[in-house]
């Protein structure tokens, strides 16, 4: 199991703090783009969660691409057969839910987000994500 503690000074931590403060401005938006781009280039798809009744995951969603021109994120949803584009703010709202402790009070075996701050990205079930994972 490849579980790693996120460094306090990392961009991930900065995004998490900004999301918990529920502030979305141009600075956060720039960090948001950098964060997603970095994750896609270095770690592959970035898993999200869709909370239900607090901490349960109905299913996983996954960021697989990003278009900085139109500021849209390509999301693979396990309920769909192909990725779909979503706006920055929609994805940002989902990240807010995923990182906010009041919505996430226990470990999640689907998305890899742990209550104690440790994060372990979970791979997609299919190994074909590289065919359409791209930063435009």
- Going from N- to C-terminal start, the domains of the chain cover 1-114
- Render each residue's pLDDT in the chain as its tens digit; 136 residues: 344 443 444 444 555 555 555 444 445 456 667 777 776 777 666 666 444 434 444 445 667 777 777 777 777 765 566 677 877 766 666 665 544 443 344 444 444 444 444 444 444 444 443 333 333 2
Instruction: Report the pLDDT value the prediction gives residue 120, as an integer from 0 to 100.
Output: 45
Contacts of 99 (CB under 8 A, 6+ apart): 15, 16, 19, 20, 113
Q: What is the CATH number of domain 1-114?
A: 3.90.70.170
Return the pLDDT at 93.
Answer: 62
H or E element in which residue 16 lies: helix 11-20
pTM, whole model, 2 decimals? 0.44
What pLDDT sits at residue 125? 41
């Amino acid at each position: 199991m490849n579980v790693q503690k996120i460094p306090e000074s990392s961009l991930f931590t900065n995004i998490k703090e900004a999301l918990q403060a529920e502030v979305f401005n141009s600075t956060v938006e720039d960090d948001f783009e950098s964060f997603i781009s970095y994750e896609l280039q270095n770690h592959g798809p970035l898993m999200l969660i869709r909370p239900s009744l607090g901490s349960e995951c109905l299913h996983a969603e996954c960021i697989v691409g990003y278009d900085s021109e139109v500021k849209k994120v390509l999301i693979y949803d396990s309920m769909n057969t192909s990725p779909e584009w979503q706006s920055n703010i929609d994805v940002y709202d989902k990240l807010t839910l995923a990182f906010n402790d009041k919505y996430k009070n226990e470990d999640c075996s689907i998305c890899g987000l742990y209550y104690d701050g440790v994060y372990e990205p979970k791979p997609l079930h299919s190994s074909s994500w590289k065919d359409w994972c791209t930063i435009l």
